[in-house]
Structure 1
Amino acid sequence: MKRQDFYFDLPEELIAQDPLEDRSSSRLLVLDKETGETSHHIFKEIVDYLNPGDCLVINDTKVIPARLIGAREGTGAKIEVLLLKRKENNVWETLVKPGKKARPGTRIVFGEGLLVGEVIDVVEEGNRLIKFEYEGIFEEILDQLGQMPLPPYITHQLEDKNRYQTVYAKHTGSAAAPTAGLHFTPELLKQIEEKGIDIARVTLHVGLGTFRPVKVDDILEHHMHSEFYHIDAEAAEKINRAKDNGGRVICVGTTSCRTVESAADENGRLRECSGWTEIFIYPGYKFKILDALITNFHLPESTLIMLVSALAGREHVLNAYQEAIQKRYRFFSFGDAMFIK
């Protein structure tokens, strides 16, 4: 399977730069994974497609304001640091720009000394391990100094940081938002529960590997970055119950999908568990848990469009994308949504 098999041409003006004022008023393309038939709706109408006994799986990770702009101690040169993965003893794996100047021993000052980082090692693909020094609570300092690590195709900073969080974000740790969840409002979630649909909360801390382009021609050679996930007993029970009673498990976003598929045993059962996943889902994959998916429109040749193609078939997905382009849907993180049923 070739990377080019998942290419489509997207006019740049269809890349959404800002979230809509009303989260649930984005558009919704419904795709039947068996027939390839499509229909067009408003996102809040998703409730009409969910049935009592179904289980909706949401990822309650919270994005940290992980983009820090600092100055190199001594020269004052600007350095940008992106926090990727927390290690122990105030050490983080980071992405540093410009990386060439960030050799071990380099010290970077943020917020006039509120936070100071020292590069202690170079790890895979040029990432840096940085040990931070500060007084007080790290999360509070980060909230004060950090910016949201928006994807590279979004060209300006957000006025309201919370618009890059889901309304149910709870557990801090992501470098990117699980964007399919951005369409939900508290009112819509209440309506869904009142209809008799269980909502299961799982956690997967999204890494920047999500945006990493597939650079190899043969997609089987692509290596996924590992991401941490957790499923508690309550979520596992809700998902298992839906399966047992003939309901569907509907994942909100590729991150929720990767979480349940990583954690499932060979019989398609879940239990309370935590771990790291590098699961890469592409056509030919047999889903153990997921029956349907709510997702955004993804980048050409990305692992995410490969995942949705595994569920609905590459041709159905690319045809639906062409239709979305013709109808001027908004694409990517702040864009419109698709329901694959």
Structure 2
Amino acid sequence: MLFSLDPKSASGIIVISIVISAVVVATIILMARSGDRMVIEKLLLNTDSTSIKKHIGQGGSQKDRRVAIVLMMRDPNDIHEWLNYHMLKGVIRFYIRLETVDASEDQVTQLLLSYPQVTLQIGDPTKTPGSESHDPPGQRQMLRQRARVSEAIQMALKDGINWIVHIDSDELLECSGLVGDAINTDARPDTHTMVLKNFEAVYGKDKVDVSKSKKDGGCFTSKKVVDCSTEPCASYANGKAVGRVTPFLQEAGVHRFHYSGPLTDNALEMQAMYLVHYESCDFPKYMDKFLKLAGSEVSSFPFPYYNDSIAVARGGACVKPTPACKDEFAAVYTKYRTTDES
């Protein structure tokens, strides 16, 4: 294993390059379409029947379908399942920025270091190069995220990646077959950027029961998914970005790419692949997230779910934590994030 220290480390950033040979074997969740419902199927990565090598062998070479994902995350849920799922779908490289104060004590760090497919950057979320101390936390976070995407594009060029996708650690790419094939199904020769449609997972009411929720499969399980373009979703609904890796590809704000080269970009909304967002898939972390947001200077969001959750966090039951605090959070969570459907 080779560790290389980036010159930016003085600002709280360490870049770790991994030179390691390993076979990752893990149970993962594969999603398939069955009518309008999601079917969850457990598979074992790198078995004879599900090995990504076999999928590639059946479909030919990886020419023009080498796909990478870039993301920034902090305290993710079930990241091993997230990684293994996308590897099975044909993603060959992950450019990850993990925000943590103490990487030496972080179990997620150790897990990510075990994946040769991961190019890991560890960053201190309290330090943002190029920002001012009075900048809002959300703005500083976006600056760090945009910097990571720009760096990932340059690394993808060197790594021979054809397409790069910018999503989050609570989102899965859903398509029939391999991600690279789905992208090439939609892309035209003059297409350089595409947008993924948003779907959102909706959970059973027992998600607020922590012990039962874990037994039911963790983060990436749901009762149904809804199309955010036709039904109301609790969180954002403006999609995520896919970009063709060339010297002319640039980040264009959070979760968008821009093509600055000659001729015109035939930008498209993807049809062969979409995004499933598992918003607030862990109830205790949901409470912790909004208790922290309530203590920030953020006053409101364009989502009633967020605003109602912050109102609970700032209410009397949660200012001085009481048993009623969890009950009030559970009421909001049940309203926006669960369904009665069996």
Same fold (TM > 0.5): no
Q: What TM-score comes out, normalization by structure 1 length?
A: 0.25
Indicate the structure whose relative CO is greater, using CA pairs within 8 Å and at least 6 residues apart: 1
Q: What TM-score comes out, normalization by structure 2 length?
A: 0.25
